[in-house]
Structure 1
Amino acid sequence: MTGTSMEFSFNDKALRADLRERLSKLENPEPFLKSIGEEFASAGGVINQRFKYERGPDGTPWAPLSESQRRRRQKRYGNAPMTILRMRGYLAGSINYQVGGSSLTIGAGKEVEDYAAIHQFGGKAGRGLKAVIPARPYLGFSDGDLDSIEEHLMQQL
C-alpha cells in the first residue's frame, strides 16, 4: 500500500499473547483481517464515522478550524458548511485497507499522502511553512475498537 498509513502494536503483553494465540488457531487469517479492514475502512466504517463526527480514535474532538481558515472558506464558498477535513472529501474517500498474509494495513491513498500525514500528526504547512496545522487523528484504535476486533476474532474461532 502506498500513501499514509500507520502501524499499531499492542503494548499490553498479555493482550498480545492472547491475540497471537487466538490468531494461531485460524487456518487462514485473511477472512478475519478483511472483516476488520471492512469494519474500519469501508465507506460507512469506523474511520468514516470519525470524519462525520470530527473526533479522533479516542473520542477527542478535533481542533476547530482557525479563524483565518473560517474567513477564507466563507469568502470562497459562501455559506458552505465549516466541516473539518471534509471540504471536498478527498481524504475520507481515500481511506482503504490491504491484507497480505497475516498483515492488515489501513491508511489513506497516495493521492492525498501529504495532506493525510499533516492532519494525522499536525505540523507546519503552507508557503514558508508559516501555517501550523493541529493534529486531527483519524487513524488508530480506541478501547472499544479493540473490543470489536476481539469479538470478530472470537466469531472466527
Structure 2
Amino acid sequence: MASDNLVNITINDESLRRSLRALDLAATDLGPVMRKIAGTLLAETQFNFLDEGRPGWIPSLAAQKRDGQTLQDTGRLMGSIATDHDDRQAAVGTNVIYGAVHQFGGLIGRNKTFKLPARPFLPMTESGELQPDVVVPILDTIVRHLESAARR
C-alpha cells in the first residue's frame, strides 16, 4: 500500500555529465591551456615593454637622449619575443643575442667595463618565479579555459 504514495522523478543529467566529461578532459589534456598560457605570457611580456618594466626599469641613457622608451629603439627585441608550449609547459623567450644581458643585467662594452642594469622584460623575477603582476592573468586564463570546457 505504501508504494501507492511514491512519486518517481527522473532527472535528465546528460548535460551535467557532458560538462563533467569536458572538464575532466580539460584538466587531463593540458596542451590547449598551455597554448593559452603561452599567449598570456606573450601579452604580459609586451606589457612589460610598454610599461617600461614592472617594477619600472632604470631608464637607459639612449632612451633619454632620443626622448624615447627604454629597450625600444628599433623594436627588434620586443618583436623577437616568441612562445612555445606542449602538454606540460608554456614558455616565452627571445633568440636575440643581447636579450639575456637586458633581462639579467651584466657587463658590456669592449672591455666589459660598463655595467648594464637588469631590465627584466620577460615576466619573471630574479629568482625565476612569475612576476606578481602575471600570476592573476595566468590564473584567469586557466579559469576561463575550464569555464569554456564546462559549457561544452
Q: TM-score, normalised by structure 2?
A: 0.68
How big is the shift at 1:50?
A: 1.1
1:152 to 130, 133, 141: 141
Rounded to whole Å, the distance in 2 between the matches of 1:92 and 1:25 is: 32
2:68 to 45, 66, 82: 82
Rounded to whole Å, the distance in 2 between the matches of 1:46 and 1:124 is: 27
- Name the Cα RMSD after superposition: 2.4
- 1:127 corresponds to: 110
1:94 to 61, 80, 87: 80
List structure 1 segments (4+ residues) > 3 angstroms apart after TM superposition.
22-25
Alpha-carbon deviations, 1:47-68, whole Å to 9, x = none?
111111101xxx21101223xx
**Is the radius of gyration larger for structure 1 or structure 2?**
2
Rounded to whole Å, the distance in 1 between the matches of 2:68 and 2:109 is: 20
Give the number of the structure with larger relative contact order, counting CA–CA contacts within 8 Å between residues 6 or more apart: 1
Alignment coverage as a number of residue pairs: 118
- 1:65 corresponds to: 60
Rounded to whole Å, the distance in 2 between the matches of 1:142 and 1:151 is: 15
Rounded to whole Å, the distance in 2 between the matches of 1:23 and 1:88 is: 46
Note closer, same or farther for the CA distance 1:48–1:25 as it changes in structure 2 (3 Å cut). closer
Rounded to whole Å, the distance in 2 between the matches of 1:48 and 1:23 is: 33
Q: TM-score, normalised by structure 1?
A: 0.66
Note closer, same or farther for the CA distance 1:26–1:37 as it changes in structure 2 (3 Å cut). same
The question of whether the paired residues in 1 share the 8 Å contact of 2:108 and 2:115 is answered with yes
Unaligned runs of 5+ in 2: 1-22, 125-129, 147-152
